[in-house]
Chain A
Amino acid sequence: MLIEFICNGKEISVDVLAEMRALDLIRNELLLTGTKCGCSKGECGSCTILVDGIPECSCLLLAPKLQGKVITTIEGLEGADGELHPIQQAFLEEGAVQCGFCTPGMILSTKALLKKNPAPTVTEIEEGLSGNICRCTGYTKIIKAVQFAALKLKGSEI
């Protein structure tokens, strides 16, 4: 079936099998491999994308559900000149990345969190990122990075 949607600002029109997962479409057809395939059960959050601004697990999303939607993957955060998004910059500067597998999902969940709540408390950050599992960092630096990103983004459009 033919589906049409917007991905990272670009109009996409693609023929998919109805049972294809959005994750496989994004990685294998659109070749956007920043979205990771972890558990395939909606538990680890490494496949998180934003659908109309809301974080969702692309492993649980069938491709037909993207029809008419606006989605953002980690590649969509890149600025016009290829510069990093302030949230990415904050993760880098705080050293919140170790193996990096969870990072795209963490950053997209952070983006959705800060849009809803520009100055979250630690508890609110923990809650906002509770669908993203990191097995390296112990989360301390990730939480610091989110706080730093909130500072960097204060007053600006997220």
Chain B
Amino acid sequence: MQYFLSATLNELLLVLDSESNSEIIAGGTDLVIIMEESGKRPEKLIDITNIKELIGIKEEKFGISIGAVTTIAKLAANNSLPCCLRSGAASIGSPQIRNVGTIGGNICNASPSGDTLTPLICLNADLLLQSTKGERLISTEQFFLGPKKTVLKKNEVLSEIRIGNRYLSGSSGFRMIGQRNGQVISQVNLAVWLKRSAESGLIEEIRIAAGSVAPTPIRIIEAEEMLCGTNPGAKLIFQAARSVQACITPINDVRSTAEYRQDVIIGLFSDIMSQILKEPQSC
């Protein structure tokens, strides 16, 4: 196996174009485990963590741009990011993992349980995919095809995550449940973003996304439609939680049973909604 440290984005795109059996490595917190367990090696590993253009969180006209190689620790500590994304980042792994793992890695690894994925879906974030042929912007919701499967082509790299100004305003929250508090992969995770009308206080727009309950993180449009245009009380929130429950298709796996996931999502949803509605600034 060869190891190539790419220095610039241009150089990376050229290498991706010319090497067929290569694999991108960022933090490596998922990839190194896969390599160790499977014994399989790509012909070439392309390390992108030295590419400065891909690192950092910047304010732009359209909103906020997050470089794909920004670490999870940097996300969790950045107060200009919405609550749901910071909380999602903070719930990943341990300090050691968050210091190394990247947001681009969490997205491209495409685990149904990735804790930044549901926040990015509910913030309507766009992903910038680049290759020597050009670039395309795709919504996070459209990016995932199945567990570990995405629309990313072999010669493309995810370079940037964009969150628009509309979704930086409003309030959001994230909850996950695992077998203990630290160092675990989500059994279920849930993110909600909403914006209330300044005059009426009614919910003007709401986006809900759930993880680890289907082959990809999913949006729960039925519950969004129930809550849009309302100022929901406990009863309506419970009805919406029931509709979230009806939309998910969890499985039994090493971390949890389908039945538990069906049950626990009701409480997670009610918790997030009451936090967002009662203490929108609490994060």
Contacts and interface: CB of A to CB of B under 8 A. Distances in A.
A60 B3 contact: no
Interface of B is mostly: mixed
A67 interface: yes
A65 B96 contact: no
Nearest to B100: A56
B29 A19 contact: no
A57 B97 CA distance: 7
B28 interface: yes
A56 B93 CA distance: 12
Given A1-B3, A131-B182, A131-B183, A60 B95 contact: no
Give the size category of A's interface with B.
20 to 34
B95 A55 contact: yes
Interface stretch (A41-49, A77-85, A89-97, A145-153): A41-49
A67 to B, nearest CB: 7
B99 A55 contact: yes
Give the size category of B's interface with A.
20 to 34
Given A61-B28, A62-B25, A64-B3, A48 B33 contact: no
Nearest to B182: A130
A96 B5 CA distance: 41
A112 B94 CA distance: 14
A133 B45 CA distance: 31
B97 A131 contact: yes
A61 B99 contact: no
Contact of B32 (A61, A109, A112, A130): A61
B100 A19 contact: no
B149 interface: no
B28 A131 contact: no
A12 interface: no
Given A42-B93, A60-B28, A130-B182, A19 B1 contact: yes
A19 B95 contact: no
B47 interface: yes
Contact of B45 (A18, A61, A127, A132): A18
Contacts of A133: 183
A124 to B, nearest CB: 11
Contact of B5 (A43, A61, A67, A132): A67
A45 to B, nearest CB: 6
Contacts of B35: 19
Nearest to B183: A43
Given A42-B29, A67-B5, A60 B100 contact: yes
A54 interface: yes
Interface of A: 1, 17-19, 21, 40-43, 45, 48, 54-57, 59-62, 64-65, 67, 109, 112, 127-128, 130-133
Interface of B: 1-3, 5, 25, 27-29, 32-33, 35-36, 41, 45, 47, 49, 93-97, 99-100, 181-183
